[in-house]
Amino acid sequence: MRTPYKGGEIDGIEELFYENGNISWRIPYKEGNKDGIEEVFNENGNISWRIPYVEGKIDGIEESFDALGNIIRTCVWKDGELIEETQH
């Protein structure tokens, strides 16, 4: 796991890896808050989900994927509140 700090707070991209070396998750932080696109991956390297954050709140389109990388669900968020959810 790699976690960057600046001024005592997480700042930058935090990463966790599986034992096989593949990335498990990648989470961007700015001044201690999630800020950017969080990505979580299966052990085989395929994307599992993406979640957009703005200043610590989910904001934008969240995407969930099956084991083959196909989109199975999307959620629209605004300022931390769920607006719409769609199953694919």
The confidence score (pLDDT) of residue 59 equals: 98
Give percent of the chain above pLDDT 90. Answer: 97
- Quick one: pLDDT band at residue 4, thresholds 50, 70, 90? very high
* Among 36, 16, 20, residue whose Cα is nearest residue 28: 36
Instruction: Name the architecture of domain 5-87.
Output: Alpha-Beta Complex (3.90)
Distance CA 24, CA 73 (A): 20
The confidence score (pLDDT) of residue 71 equals: 97
Q: Which token pair is 12?
A: 């930058």
The confidence score (pLDDT) of residue 36 equals: 98
DSSP 8: T
pLDDT tens figures, 56-79: 999 999 999 999 899 999 999 999
Question: Would you list the domain boundaries of the chain?
Answer: 5-87
- Quick one: pLDDT band at residue 81, thresholds 50, 70, 90? very high
Give percent of the chain above pLDDT 70. Answer: 100
